[in-house]
Amino acid sequence: MRVGIGYDIHRLVKERALILGGIKLPFHLGLLGHSDADVLVHAIMDAMLGAAGLQDIGYYFSDNDPQFKNADSLNLLKKVANLIKEKNYKIINIDSIIIAERPKIAPNIPAMKKKLANILNITTDLIGIKATTNEGLGEIGTGAAIAAKAVVLLE
């Protein structure tokens, strides 16, 4: 059994789609990043890679590489899943949390779980996604950013 942890944060800006867990959320701001900036998927990928003893997502998907400009993070997650499979690991479970003042995340969690489970070829009951606020503190608390943390257990 191997455990990995992941974290990601991106700034909210105008004229970008808000993508979390592979789902486009209706919101007037989106996350700024080289790819689609899906903080939840990025945190999960880093947790998976860490559990397998591999490099972080920046090593595999550099933000200096034009091929990843506006990349769909679900496609990157699929590549990470293949790296994990090549090392003969399987996902036992994923637990994660999205930290955002707004928009409300909870109504979108079932769709996120379904999307992630499909990409990872696991059942939705192996994926935990929670949402919380930062109680008005820091950049997340002022609504300037969204972050996510994830823990993955591999066998």
Average pLDDT over residues 51-63: 94
pLDDT of residue 70: 81
Model confidence pLDDT, tens digit, residues 81-134: 999 999 999 999 999 999 999 999 999 999 999 999 999 999 999 999 999 999
The total number of residues shown for the chain amounts to 155
In the chain, the domains with their CATH numbers are 2-154 (3.30.1330.50)
Using CA atoms, how far apart are residues 91 and 81, in angstroms rounded to an integer? Answer: 9
Average pLDDT for the chain: 96
Q: How far apart are CA 67 and CA 62, in angstroms?
A: 9
The C-alpha atoms of residue 151 and residue 47 are separated, in whole angstroms, by 6
pLDDT score at 42: 98
Among 60, 51, 136, 62, smallest CA distance to 100 is for: 136
What is the tens place of the pLDDT at every residue in 42-56? 999 999 999 999 999
Q: pLDDT value at position 6?
A: 98
pLDDT, residue 104, reads 94
Instruction: Report pTM.
Output: 0.96
d(CA 151, CA 126): 12
Nearby residues of 110 by Cβ (< 8 Å), 6 or more positions away: 124
